[in-house]
Amino acid sequence: MLQGVVSGLLFGGVYSLMAVGLTLIFGVMRVVNFAHGDMMVWGMYLAYVLATRAGIDPYASFLVCAAALFALGFVVQRGLVDRIVDAPHEMQILLMLGVALVLENVALVAFGPEPTRVRSPLASATLWLGPVFVDVARLVTFLVAVALTTALWAFLFRTDLGRTIRAAADNTYGALVVGTDVRRVYAVAFGVGAACVGAAGALVSPILPFQPPTGLSLSVASFNIVIIGGMGSLLGAFVGGLLVSLAESLGAVFLKPSLKELFSFSLLIVILLIRPAGLFGRRSA
Amino acid sequence: MSLLVARGLSKRFGGLHAVARLDMEIARGEMLGLIGPNGAGKTTVFNLLSGFLVLDAGDIVLDGHSIVGLPPHAICRLGLARTFQIVRPFPRMTVLENVRVGALARCPRAPEALARAREVVARVGLGPRERVAAGALTLADRKRLELARALATGPALLLLDEVMAGLNPTEIETIIQLIRAIHASGVSILLIEHNMRAVMALSQRIVVLSFGERIAEGAPAEIAHHPKVVEAYLGEEYVRAAPA
Amino acid sequence: MKWVLVAGVLALLALPAVLSSYALTLFILIFFYGFLGQAWNIVGGYAGQLSAGHAAFVGVGGYTATMLSIELGLTPWVGMLIGGVLAALLGAIIGYLGFRFGLRGFYFVLLTVAFAEICRVAVSNIDALGGPLGLYITFTGNPRQFQFQDGRVYYYIALALMLVATLTAWAIERRRFGIYLAAIREDEAAAEALGVNAFKYKMLAMVVSSFLTGLGGTFYAFYLFSLQPNTLFGIPLSVEIIIRPIVGGAGTLLGPILGSFILTPLAEISRLYLGQGGLHGAHLIAYGVLLIGVVLFLPEGVYPRLRRALARRSGQTR
């Protein structure tokens, strides 16, 4: 069981990175990125393509994947989401649902429905760390994910652009008044959020077998984490990622693998029902 | 004869006492003004009375029934209607359709509700704009719509939350006449207002709130020169300077 | 306008006489998805509560009727109603949890998706319900078992279902129920202040919607002679259900029908030309693009835009 705990914690690094991306997008522009998991799957497929066509290991290519997904996020925000900032929330939900549908099914058409995994030399190496043995791949993934989250934190809290983004998140009108190009800030924020899952996808591609429908379960996991941690809270997303990953891997120890999804969805319902009203109130997302 | 009796109303938000042990009474047929500086708790009182906020302590009795803990729709059906400080029309419905929603509280059958709505719309002066989408109305008209909608529910007590805000003097004059007419038809009114001229002109009695507590109560003339009121609005230094 | 509709219905009634069997199938699908879309419309369009998990009700309805038929020999005509009731029960549970706990917008969507997925995974794992491979219905051609030799009977049943759902929506639309739903959709708090018991009416809408959708499950199962959990409870079916009313016009009476007449043939064409071997995701891409397009350019849907254009053409104002 300790094995399960360690495994879970290590995988949590990726979950954290994923959740941080989602919460950033929500925190800045109150948009729920329904396509989050599907974007991550694209990160995975991109890593796959780079590995098989260009022989680049995902642990080297993750920054490229992040950059590519940044571009995707930026374009989605600028071209699509931006046009409906003032529309009722249902429209936003439907828009992102549409994006999710497109992403998932283009992947289906391009790569087929079979599960894939990326081959990486690190994937088969293991280490003994005290009483448990640890996948080197998972360990590296965890370390890189934490490093990226820290870098993101530094970006948001120590750079001018980062501060501008946080300011726009806190108070859009205020930011407008002081002359911020809010639209650009939004696009950057969305791009950064997407970049997070681009990197997360690449990092996890040697560990987790994936197929286009995986997008949905990843989205659900992200929502789980972000709702627990508090929509818009970076720290909450980070800690939540570790917790949820832990809970899932403990769940996997005790339950049949096919029931893992059942567990995730049930967890989501429970969280939806008991989410502390104070963190977020009755406001519609 | 008391229509509404509120005793010991208290509401806290975290450490902030928005309303503290407030007592208030409204007689049947009365027009009561509720004033106080920003943040005094006036809208909180409205939200408590209309069921949008849950009381921490206290009791509210409307026409003999305790309405504590009742949801807003039940309180409306018992005869208490309210408007919102920032108007909330149903944007994609027409003026008539908006008011019809309120009228359905009194006339469950849609055709009769429509007829009633038409009457109320005419009464507030929106007749010519019956078929206009609410989203396309001017602010003054939206305020009238908000009033009409609440009126259509056939309330015994109408809560008006800063109806004059954002209106120009002509529009204010029109609304004052309208409120007078509604009052004359037998509806008791509790109004929150910052426009002092309007409050003084309309109210039979005024309650003054500051930091969630009642600091003064009385006829408009008394209130205008009440030292506590001046202090609350303008600060201590002005109390002595207030004209007699 | 009313005469156009009456003429339309009469035309549809007469149509089978001249249709090829392929065209017949197409119309059956148009009516069936129109029916499901209209059922969804009651809670998703009129009440404005976006549910992306309506496939769960199709599944519950279909599996109930099928199991009752297989295990107890109960005629699906009755099984259909029982399936509808069970689907309504599930709808009541989801509605209760969602509305009591104040889940709106995005949170409510997630709740509905979660329930649908739980049903899917649960049913896939229960061998008594056929597991992941599902159930098969043996062909007997016996009308008492909801099976017909003649495809035209399915046509009329599907048409009847669509008309029943539409009449239900029409009855709701013109009464207090429908007006209150519209108010809730526009601004729930303002509606509450006007005496609208939002919880009660949202629940009613949910129950009616899920009951009707559940009826559709039986039709689906006995028309296709098979049920698989991934198909019957899955997200692709939920997408099929919601996209027609959204494109056609959510919250309008004819929106779901128009949407089905537009999208179903398109889906079939793309399935024919692109659906060979693993490219079955292609029409979903088109759906995704359409959803995006509708949100950006036609948020009310095709039907309201059309109606305004026609009104302008004939010189009337509304």
Predicted structure pTM score: 0.90
Question: Smallest Cα–Cα separation from C261: which of C9, C31, C87, C10?
Answer: C31
Task: Please report residues of B whose CB lies closer than 8 A to that of C190.
Answer: 84, 88-90
Quick check: B50 and B60 in contact, CB under 8 A?
no
Q: What is the DSSP letter of B52?
A: S
Q: Is residue B131 assigned to a domain?
A: no
Per-domain boundaries in chain C: 19-234
Q: Which two tokens stand for residue A152?
A: 């993101």
Q: What is the DSSP letter of B22?
A: E
- Any A CB within 8 A of C55 CB: no
Residue that the structure tokens 């599996």 belong to = C63
Per-range mean pLDDT, top range of A172-176, B11-15, B38-42, C64-68:
C64-68
Question: Smallest Cα–Cα separation from B11: which of B57, B73, B77?
Answer: B57
Cross-chain Cβ contact A285/C105 below 8 Å = yes
Q: Which helix (H) or strand (E) holds B7?
A: strand B2-13
Question: In the prediction, which pLDDT does C223 show?
Answer: 92
Question: Smallest Cα–Cα separation from B224: which of B210, B238, B243?
Answer: B243
Which residue of C187, C196, C318 is in closest CB contact with B73?
C196
Task: Please report residues of C whose CB lies closer than 8 A to that of B101.
Answer: 179-180, 183, 191, 194, 196
Q: Which two tokens stand for residue B131?
A: 């078929």
Task: Please report residues of C whose CB lies closer than 8 A to that of B77.
Answer: 195
**In chain B, which residues touch C (CB < 8 A)?**
50, 52, 71-74, 76-77, 81-82, 84, 88-93, 97, 100-102, 104-105, 108-110, 113, 131, 149-150, 152-153
Half-sphere exposure of B205 (CA within 13 A, CB side): 16
Buried-state track A133-167, b at ≥16 Cβ within 10 A, e below 16: ebbebbbbbbebbbebbeebeeebeeeeebebbbb
Measured between alpha carbons, how far is B1 from B20 in angstroms, rounded to an integer?
A: 25
Indicate which of C46, C175, C194 best probes the interface with B, i.e. most B CBs within 10 Å of its own CB: C194
Task: Please report residues of A whose CB lies closer than 8 A to that of C287.
Answer: 98, 101
Confidence class for position A281, pLDDT limits 50, 70, 90 = very low
- Split into its structural domains, chain A has a count of 1
Task: Please report residues of C whose CB lies closer than 8 A to that of A272.
Answer: 101, 103, 107, 110-111, 114
- Higher-confidence residue of C172 and A285: namely C172
Question: In the prediction, which pLDDT does A246 show?
Answer: 82
Cross-chain Cβ contact C189/B105 below 8 Å = no
**In chain C, which residues touch B (CB < 8 A)?**
174-176, 179-180, 182-183, 186-187, 189-198, 318
- Split into its structural domains, chain B has a count of 1
Tens of pLDDT, residue by residue over A89-104, are: 888 889 999 999 999 9
Confidence class for position B82, pLDDT limits 50, 70, 90 = very high
Contacts of B138 (CB under 8 A, 6+ apart): none
List of long-range contacts for C272-278, beta carbons under 8 Å, 24+ apart: C278/A108, C278/A112, C278/A113
Q: Is residue B93 assigned to a domain?
A: no
Instruction: Give the β-pairing of B57-62 and B65-66.
Output: antiparallel
Q: Which helix (H) or strand (E) holds B60?
A: strand B57-62
Q: Is residue A188 assigned to a domain?
A: yes
Instruction: Give the β-pairing of B16-27 and B213-218.
Output: unpaired
Cross-chain Cβ contact A102/C289 below 8 Å = yes
Exposure of A254 by Cβ count < 10 A (0-12 exposed, 13-18 middle, 19+ buried)?
Answer: exposed
The pLDDT profile of chain C, 318 residues, written as one tens digit per residue, is 788 888 888 888 888 888 888 889 999 999 999 999 999 999 999 999 999 999 999 999 999 999 999 999 899 999 999 999 999 999 999 999 999 998 888 889 999 999 999 999 999 989 888 888 888 888 887 888 888 888 888 999 999 999 999 999 999 999 999 999 999 999 999 999 999 999 999 999 999 999 999 999 999 999 998 899 999 999 889 999 999 999 999 999 999 999 999 999 988 887 777 655 555 677 888 888 988 999 999 888 899 988 888 888 876 554
CATH number of the domain encompassing residue A220: 1.10.3470
Q: What is the DSSP letter of C43?
A: I
Rg (CA), chain B: 18
Within 10 angstroms of residue A126's Cβ, the number of other Cβ atoms is: 13
Cross-chain Cβ contact C195/B90 below 8 Å = no
Question: Smallest Cα–Cα separation from C260: which of C208, C312, C216?
Answer: C216
Measured between alpha carbons, how far is B171 from B239 in angstroms, rounded to an integer?
A: 33
Cross-chain Cβ contact C194/B101 below 8 Å = yes
Exposure of A257 by Cβ count < 10 A (0-12 exposed, 13-18 middle, 19+ buried)?
Answer: exposed
Cross-chain Cβ contact B101/C197 below 8 Å = no
* Chain A, nearest residue to C97 by Cα: A273
Within 10 angstroms of residue B29's Cβ, the number of other Cβ atoms is: 15
* Chains touching chain C, criterion 3+ CB pairs below 8 Å: A, B
Q: From start to end of B139-212, where are the E strands?
A: 157-161, 188-192, 205-210
Chain A to chain C, count of Cβ pairs less than 8 Å apart? 123
Question: Smallest Cα–Cα separation from A78: which of A167, A186, A173, A162?
Answer: A186
* Chains touching chain B, criterion 3+ CB pairs below 8 Å: C
Q: Determine the 3-state secondary structure of A134 from DSSP.
A: strand
ipTM of the complex: 0.91
Q: What is the DSSP letter of B237?
A: G
Q: Is residue A64 assigned to a domain?
A: yes
Exposure of C149 by Cβ count < 10 A (0-12 exposed, 13-18 middle, 19+ buried)?
Answer: exposed
Q: Facing residues of B159 across strands?
A: B82, B190
Cross-chain Cβ contact A266/C278 below 8 Å = no
Strands in B2-13's sheet, in edge-to-edge order, are: B16-27, B2-13, B57-62, B65-66
Contacts of C39 (CB under 8 A, 6+ apart): C54, C165, C209, C210, C212, C213, C216
Q: Facing residues of B9 across strands?
A: B22
Q: Is residue A105 assigned to a domain?
A: yes
Q: Is residue A175 assigned to a domain?
A: yes
Residues spanned by the domain of A112? 2-276
Tens of pLDDT, residue by residue over C105-161, are: 888 999 999 999 999 999 998 988 888 888 888 888 788 888 888 888 899 999 999
Alpha-carbon distance A31 to nearest alpha carbon in chain C (angstroms): 10
Measured between alpha carbons, how far is B151 from B158 in angstroms, rounded to an integer?
A: 8
For residue A94, report the phi and psi dihedrals to the nearest 5 degrees: -65, -40
Buried-state track B171-197, b at ≥16 Cβ within 10 A, e below 16: bbebbbebbeebbeeebbbbbbbebee
* Chain A, nearest residue to C102 by Cα: A282
Task: Please report residues of B whose CB lies closer than 8 A to that of C189.
Answer: 52, 72, 88
Please state, in angstroms and as integers, the Cα–Cα distance from residue B140 to each residue in B87, B119, B175, following that order.
Answer: 10, 19, 9
Task: Please report residues of C whose CB lies closer than 8 A to that of A281.
Answer: none
Residues spanned by the domain of B194? 1-79+158-163+188-244
Residue B240 clears pLDDT 60, i.e. is over it: no
Question: In the prediction, which pLDDT does C20 show?
Answer: 87
Q: What is the DSSP letter of C127?
A: G
CATH number of the domain encompassing residue B197: 3.40.50.300
Confidence class for position B236, pLDDT limits 50, 70, 90 = low
Q: Is residue A281 assigned to a domain?
A: no
